[in-house]
Structure 1
Amino acid sequence: MDTCDLFSSCRKGDVGRVRYLLEQRDVEVNVRDKWDSTPLYYACLCGHEELVLYLLANGARCEANTFDGERCLYGAQSDAIRRALREYKQVTSCRRRDHYYSFLLRLLEQGIHSDVVFVVHGRSFRAHRCILGARSAYFANMLDTKWKGKSVVVLRHPLINPVAFGALLQYLYTGRLDVSVEHVSDCERLAKQCQLWDLLGDLEAKLASKPGTCVKVLTIEPPQADSRLREDLAVLADCALPTELRSDLWELPFPCDGFNGCPDVCFRVEGYSFLCHKAFFCGRSDYFRALLDDHFQESEQLEAPGSLPAITLHGISPAVFTHVLYYVYSDRTELPPEVAYDVLSMADMYLLPGLKQLCGRSLAQLLDEDSVVGVWRVAKLFRLARLEDQCTEYMAKVIEKLVEQEDFVEAVREEAAAVAARQETDSIPLVDDIRFHVGSTVQTCSAMEQAQQRLRVLEDLLVSIGLEC
């Protein structure tokens, strides 16, 4: 529903609504509709220059010589928009709003905690065995046989192109591939060799789908709903789980016992050992980077093959850490509302804002007349703007009943008291948000009458507690 609203708002040029959808509702800025069109394309086509500039500043992609870039330029309604598209250089192929994608791309480009180097005709590529093995059965087999124990792998075959190999690594790490058209055949050859049939199919389909368009750079990008990358990397979380905790797992793609995930750190939680990877925990959390890289806590030695450094985590249960584990590796976790509060407090402590947002989405399922005020307080405490907005939107729908509840009245008083040096006519944030939502969906006369009734109820409450505003 939010996605349809985004496309509609872009066609209308409603910058305020688009800002709300992207910043409060977390809608992906580069989402595509069934015609393979993006929000930026519609903003360009309909001539909304202000909206085009906003979308570009918030991660909308429009690289030169790509299908999206050429299409936006061709469809732009004005020269001013065409200039903006050509001149805007700040946003690159990295999806600015997708922190998971940015993290994986950073792992590849910076080689953080890499444990293998590939040398292809003099060019070096630092990589992580765990990612390559989880994403490709071919790499998993080679790293456990021919390349086992090697920190440097030299690839000398004349048909292996360094540019194509770099593009292949980009695909394995991020699910995305950017390559000049002249190197596509080299990428197809490598995809076939590495048994990456999905990539091979995507390359062939992409080449056949854009006739008549002058494209110099070919981009392969999975649809927003495509979960292959996250599912592949979730296997690393499966394998990190202690054997005793795997009993309730779904059937794994392959047995963990037969897959060498190459862990390099052990986290001990209430006696259970989770065999993990520093690259993921340090790359996703400043807390764990300080813990592991900055030596804020001395590590012990795990009495197991490989003698992994082990760190004991206190104040967290194995069940809650399992949710942290799956989020760190796959950016997702199945989070029932009943455990969301516990996970939220640990996500806040471990500096994992994305996990906090997942907790917020789970807590949103609890909203009813009795719980909405409590959930709203949690949202404010943990700075969950989207959940806070959902709470006030729900409050607006049931305001006639809320005004009779003491916890809501107390929340209004606290909000008023929190406004520094508040004068009698100053607004109260909670009240302002409810007023906004009461009036935001009014489209008919009957809806207007209902909205006016809700506003009167709210005003009566403010008068009764001496907070006219």
Structure 2
Amino acid sequence: MRIDGDNFKELCYWCRIGSVENVDRLVSTGVNLNLNDEFDNSPLFLASLCGNEEVVKLLLKRGAVCDRDRFEGARCIYGALTDSIRNILLAFDISKAVDSKQPFAAHLSSLLTDPSIRSHDIVFQFPGLKNIKLHKFLLAARSSYFEEKFQGPWMDKHLIKMPDWVPQKSLEIISRFMYLVPILHELGPTETGIAKKFCKKLELLDLLEHIDKARHIADPSEKSKLATESQFRFSERARHQMRAFVGKIIKQKICLPVEQTGSSERIKMLKSSVCIPDVFVAVCEKNRPGYRWFYPCHRSILVRSEYFKIMFSSNFKEASSYSQTPEGTVDRSKNFPVISFPCSDSAVAELILAYLYYDNTDISWEFALDVLVAADALFTDRLKTMAAVAIMQSTEFLNHHSIFEVLYVAWDTRMERLEHYAAEVIANDFKFYCHDPRFEEAVIKSSRRIQNRQEADTIELVDDIRYQLLKKHNVDTEEFEEISWDEVITEPSKTVLSPYNKDIEMLEALLNRMGLIA
């Protein structure tokens, strides 16, 4: 199957170029990795052919198929530019091709399969069998049947005793599907019959459609292909549902004075909102000092951030304040914790929530710098990377922000790619920046970043700019290394090095004036 969408075309371009960050950004928009472009090339084939090993690894991790028994897989393997890539593709287990392709989907699966994440708030009890522990908000987000139940007869319930006629296997299959745990390769005739019986009732039409299609396919390779395509649709459907659910969270947010938080009736009502929250996220209102926005959220999602994962698994009050019901579920009626986001803009907070809930990485340049700083505080490295990419790819950003502001944030957040970007911007317009007092200040700050400065130490910013000047003037670094420094300085008339020399001489003059040896 081919696709002509702009996102897919851009994905293919970055697979050829080898940009891991841009490939990851586009994959998170929901692009199907297992389609072909107008020349019948898949993203995996392009990355393999062009020798982009890290992109190959990322595509496989996100759900790209490489089945050596199929034409597309064989093309990738035999067209690989390097033996290393070929070995990676040969070693790839086809069963992994139906794994959750998005990090958010992998996290949803972990809520069901990882016993260390204890945040469930509903237990389904089967007579004489093992209980199944789930999350109300996720069931409600993915099924209108459960949404109606939790807003109606099951609103205050933590334990649902299942009737004898409902087989435990049915809920196991349905819950694994709803948590995006791959199940399609496990469905035999018995499991298929059980699942189909409940799909209509729970309005799980994607799974029902797959079951009906799979009945008429006997060829194992075709069944595998269908399973992969269906798992992609399942993941995308879940992302759309979670996006809609975040819309409900944002719609339910309220703004209150800090001193009224504990006694406000609106807060009490928010606890029992349609979002079925178990934690409030608080964000300062930048235009109204003393006021905060409150979002009804879920700690099982917030723990995608390493910061909150540590918080909720520690002895901090935010973790210890949770009460449990006799069934061992979270009791949302007592000790409702409030946690703060490290930002003072609700728009930034909502971008972070969108990332945590459904892996949204579409970050506008207006908020990218604030998202970067907040993501660093939350130990969310992938979101940091996506914010940095948004800054570097924007044509508007530098019309509103100084490149030195970018540089200082890059230092504070340890974002090396942004440091290099700042150096590139400065180098590309060096005649202008060299006479800017802010550049001199930046060089001084960079020199102070060297701990226990020794005579042989260099100033990182200066080194980066020198490298970017080489690139700017297309100076061959190997050829340049063969020329002595004295020769470069004393013979600026050389055709290739003359423009480079002019910039270097300005840089050296600045350093001499500042009394720095770099």
Q: Given the superposition, is the C-alpha separation of residues 27 and 207 from structure 1 closer, same or farther in structure 2, using an over 3 Å criterion?
A: farther
Q: Does 1:434 align with 2:468?
A: yes
Q: 1:88 to 1:157 in 2, by over 3 A?
A: same
Counterpart of 2:437?
A: 406
User: Cα gap change, 1:63/1:2 in structure 2, threshold over 3 Å: closer, same or farther?
Assistant: closer
Show structure 2 runs of 5+ residues with no match: 1-5, 258-269, 284-290, 324-331, 477-493
Alignment of 1:292-441 (within 5 A): 292-297=312-317, 306-311=333-338, 313=340, 317=344, 319=346, 321-332=349-360, 341-357=369-385, 359-360=387-388, 363-364=391-392, 365=394, 366-368=397-399, 371-412=402-443, 414-415=445-446, 418=449, 421=454, 423=456, 428-432=462-466, 434-435=468-469, 438=472
CA distance in 1, matches of 2:499, 2:163: 71
Which of 282, 299, 305 is equivalent to 1:285? 305
> Paired residue for 1:106?
110
Change (3 A) 1:138 1:458: farther
Q: CA deviation at 1:129?
A: 0.8
Does the CA contact (< 8 Å) of 2:376 and 2:384 recur in 1? yes
Aligned: 1:117 with 2:151 = no
Partner of 2:20: 22
Output the CA distance in 1 between the equivalents of 2:173 and 2:370: 41
* Partner amino acid, structure 2, of 1:60: L
Partner of 1:237: 249
Q: How far did 1:357 drift?
A: 4.1
Relative to the length of structure 1, the TM-score reads 0.69
- Opposite residue 286 of structure 1, the aligned amino acid is E
Paired AA for residue 242 in structure 1: I
Cα offsets for 1:389-442 (capped at 9, x unmatched)? 444444444334223322234434554665664649998442255246536899
2:486 is equivalent to residue 455 of structure 1: no
The structure whose Rg is larger is 2
Q: Does the 8 Å CA contact 2:280/2:296 hold for their aligned counterparts?
A: yes
Which residue pairs with 1:197 in the alignment? 205
Between 1:175-184 and 1:259-268, the stretch displaced more is: 175-184
Letter in 2 for 1:221: F
What is the CA-CA distance between 1:236 and the residue it aligns to?
5.3
Tell me how far apart the structure 2 counterparts of residues 410 and 289 of structure 1 sit (CA, whole Å): 39
Q: Check if 1:39 corresponds to 2:43.
A: yes
Is the 2:306–2:378 Cα contact (8 Å) retained in structure 1?
yes
Give, in whole Å, the separation in 2 of the partners of 1:432 and 1:103.
43
Secondary structure of the residue aligned to 1:284 is coil
Partner amino acid, structure 2, of 1:431: I
Distance 2:108 2:137 in 1: 13
Tell me, which stretches of 5 or more residues in structure 1 are unaligned? 12-16, 246-255, 443-448
- Secondary structure in 1 aligned to 2:338? strand
Superposition pairs of residues 112-191 of structure 1, within 5 angstroms: 112=117, 113-118=119-124, 122=129, 124-145=131-152, 147-148=154-155, 149-154=157-162, 157=165, 162=169, 166=172, 168-174=174-180, 178-180=184-186, 182=188, 185-186=192-193, 187=195, 189-191=197-199
The 10-residue stretch of structure 1 (395-404 or 409-418) with the greater mean CA deviation from structure 2: 409-418
Q: 1:85 to 1:314 in 2, by over 3 A?
A: closer
User: Does the CA contact (< 8 Å) of 1:327 and 1:355 recur in 2?
Assistant: yes
| Number of the residue aligned with 1:252 | none
Match in the other structure for 2:277: 263
Check whether the contact 2:142–2:178 (CA below 8 A) recurs between aligned residues.
yes
Q: Is the 8 A contact 2:342 2:377 kept in 1?
A: no
Amino acid at match of 2:20: L
Change (3 A) 1:261 1:324: same
Deviation sequence 1:215-236 (CA, Å, 0-9, x none): 4572221499875144134145
**C-alpha deviations, 1:329-375, integer Å up to 9, x for none?**
34448866555555544433333334444544555542249712221
Please say if residues 7 and 26 of structure 2, whose CA atoms lie closer than 8 Å, have aligned partners that are also in contact: no
2:337 is paired with a residue whose SS is strand
* Residue identity in the other structure for 1:135: R
* Equivalent position amino acid for 2:381 in 1: P
Following superposition, the deviation at residue 116 of structure 1 comes to 2.2
Is residue 368–residue 391 contact of structure 2 (8 Å, CA) maintained in 1?
yes
Aligned length: 437
Instruction: Summarize deviations over 1:17-40 as a string: whole Å, max 9, x none.
Output: 52xx11577456784554486433
Matching residue of 1:14: none
| Aligned equivalent of 2:267 | none
Question: What amino acid does structure 2 have at the position aligned with 1:101?
Answer: A
Q: 1:267 touches 1:273 (CA, 8 Å); kept in 2?
A: yes
Letter in 2 for 1:74: A
Residue pair 1:347, 1:355 contacting (<8 A) in 2 also: yes
